[in-house]
Structure 1
Amino acid sequence: MASIDLNSDLGENTPDRIVGDDEAMLAVVTSANVSCGFHAGSPEGIGDTLAAAVRRGVVIGAHPGYRDHENFGRIDVDVDSATLQAHIEYQLGALEGLARAVGGAVAYVKPHGALYNAIARDERRAADVVAAIRAIDPGLVLLGLAGGTALEVARRAGLQVAAEAFADRGYLPDGRLVPRTQAGAVLHDAHVVAERMVRLVETGAIRAVDGTEVRIDAQSICVHGDTPGSVAMAGEVRRMLQAAGIAITPFTQRGAGRPSGGTV
C-alpha cells in the first residue's frame, strides 16, 4: 500500500498576527513544523501548539528561520556562517526545551521560508544548517525540498533526510518552487490541489507551470497553514489520498531503523 506524510507549518500565530488555525490543522496532518520563534510565533503560543500536537499524536518538527519577524522570514538574509549556525542552534534548542515541557520531543527539522529556499540551492548555507543540526542532535531528520542541495549536503554529513512536495505551490520545470512574487506561485482550488497530490503519489510526477512534467521523489506533502482556506484544502488532500487507497502516516515512522545517511 502506498503511503505519504502530511505536514504543515504551525505555531506561527501571535495576538496581533493570526495566520492559521493550528488546532484544526492538527486534526488533519501527521507532522507539524512548529515555529521556533524567529520568523513568527510567541513562546506561549508555540507551547500551546506543541501541547496540542502531543495530545493528537502528531509528530513534531522544528521550523527555524531567519531572524525576521517583520517579513515572516520570507526575505533572503545572507548572514555569515557563524551567525547562521548559532541562530539555528538557538532555535532548535529552544523548541526542544518547549517540547519536553509538554511531554513531547522534536523528531525532525524543516527550515522556513527564505532560508528553506536558500539551502535548496546554496551549499554554504546548507552546510551551516546541517552543522547546527548535528551540534544539537544528529538524530534529527532534515526535511527539505526534493532534489535540493540541502538534502545532499545532509546525507554527506551523515544525517537522515526526507524529501517533500508542496500541495499548494506551483513548480518550475527544474523542480524549484515558483517564487511568491510570480503568477502561479500559490494554488487555491482544493480539489485541483488534491488531484495533483494523488497523481504525485501514484506516479512520482507533478505538472510544472509551463505544462511539463517534473519528477519528484517525496516522502511528505506540505500544505501551508497560513494560506487562505488551508484547513479545508488539507482536509480535501487527505480525503482524496485515502479514497485512492493511499495511507497517511508520518515519514519518521516509516523511516525508523534505517541507517544514518539514508532517506527516510
Structure 2
Amino acid sequence: MTWASIDLNADLGEGFGRWRLTDDEQLLSVITSANVACGFHAGDAPTMRRVCRLAAERSVRIGAQVSYRDLAGFGRRSMEVPAAELAAEIAYQIGALEIFARAAGSRVSYVKPHGALYNRVVHDEEQAAAVVEGVLLSGERLPLLGLPGSILHALAEKAGLPVITEAFADRAYTPEGTLVPRGQEGAVITDETAVVERSISMARFGVVTSHGGRSVPVRARSLCLHGDTPGAVALARRVRERLETVGVRVESFV
C-alpha cells in the first residue's frame, strides 16, 4: 500500500541553552510535522517555546519526541528504566511540550520516541507498553509515530491509540525492515542523490533497498528527514521538490 500524499517530519529543538544543533526555522519551511525534543535527550523550556511558536506560525504539526533521560548521550544509549518510571517520564515530557504548544495556539498532535527508545520499542514489549501507558497517562489519545510492524504499534492499536508508520530516507535498513544500528558502517546514507531517490521509492512504491541489497517493503505514511546532518535544510528541500515533481502531495498526516 502506498499513499498519494506523504508527511515529512524532522527532529527539532535539539539544543540546550546557548547550544543549537538544528536549523529549526529553515526546516520548518519544508516539513509538515515537527518532532520537538522535550528536555530528556535535548531541548529546554525556552527552546520548546520557541520551536512551538515557529511551528504554529507555519501551520506545522507539533509532535512530542520523547526519550530516555539521557542528555549526555543524546538519548542514543539504551537504558534500563523500570516500566512505571518510564511511563511517568513519557507523560511528563508530553505535558511539558503541551504547555508551550497551547501557548502558541496549537497542540501536541502525536508522539514519537527518540533514539535508543525508538529502536528498543520495536521489539521490547515491556518498554513499548510503558510508552503506550505514558501516552494514555498524558490524558490524550495521541497517535504514535514509529516503524511498521513494531511491537509499539501493535500495543498502541490494542490500547485504542492511532498509529502512523514511518520511514527513513537517510538510514540503512536491514533485510528484516529494521534500521541498521548507528554504530555499524553504512548505517547513515550520506549520498544526497541516494537519499532523494530512496524517498521517492518509499513514497510511491513502498519499498527500499536494504543494506544487503534486498528490496524491503516499507509502507510509511510519514518520511523522516534528520535535521542534524550537514546540509540538512538543502537536502530536505530537494526531497520535497522531487516528491512534488513526481506527483506526491506533501502534507501532514493529522
TM-score (norm 1): 0.93
Amino acid at match of 1:196: R
Q: How does 1:93-108 map to 2 (within 5 A)?
A: 93-108=95-110
Partner of 2:212: 210
Q: Equivalents in 1 of 2:12, 2:159: separation in Å?
A: 28
Partner of 2:39: 37
SS in 1 for 2:8: strand
Q: Retained in 2: the 8 A contact 1:12–1:46?
A: no
Q: In the alignment, which of 61, 64, 67 is matched to residue 66 of structure 2?
A: 64
Partner of 2:224: 222
Partner of 1:90: 92
Partner of 2:162: 160
Q: Which runs of 5+ in 2 are unaligned?
A: none
Q: Equivalents in 2 of 1:31, 1:228: separation in Å?
A: 20
Q: In the alignment, which of 176, 197, 203 is matched to residue 178 of structure 2?
A: 176
Partner of 1:114: 116
SS in 2 for 1:110: strand
SS in 1 for 2:113: coil
Aligned-residue offset at 1:199 = 1.2
Q: In the alignment, which of 187, 194, 197 is matched to residue 196 of structure 2?
A: 194
Partner of 1:135: 137
Q: Equivalents in 1 of 2:134, 2:245: separation in Å?
A: 40
Aligned-residue offset at 1:149 = 1.2
Q: Equivalents in 2 of 1:56, 1:157: separation in Å?
A: 32
Aligned residues: 252
Q: Equivalents in 1 of 2:25, 2:190: separation in Å?
A: 21
SS in 2 for 1:69: coil
Runs (4+) of structure 1 moved beyond 6 Å?
Answer: none
Q: Retained in 2: the 8 A contact 1:6–1:31?
A: yes
Partner of 1:47: 49
Q: Equivalents in 2 of 1:176, 1:137: separation in Å?
A: 30
Partner of 1:261: none
Deviations 1:38-87 (A, max 9, x none): 11011101110110000000001100111110010000011111110111
Deviations 1:150-183 (A, max 9, x none): 1111001110110000011110110110111001
Deviations 1:70-112 (A, max 9, x none): 0100000111111101111111111111111221100100011
Aligned-residue offset at 1:36 = 0.7
Partner of 1:151: 153
Q: Which runs of 5+ in 1 are unaligned?
A: 253-264
TM-score (norm 2): 0.97
Deviations 1:201-231 (A, max 9, x none): 2211100010001101100000111122211
Aligned-residue offset at 1:14 = 2.2
Deviations 1:11-48 (A, max 9, x none): 11124532110000000000000111111011101110
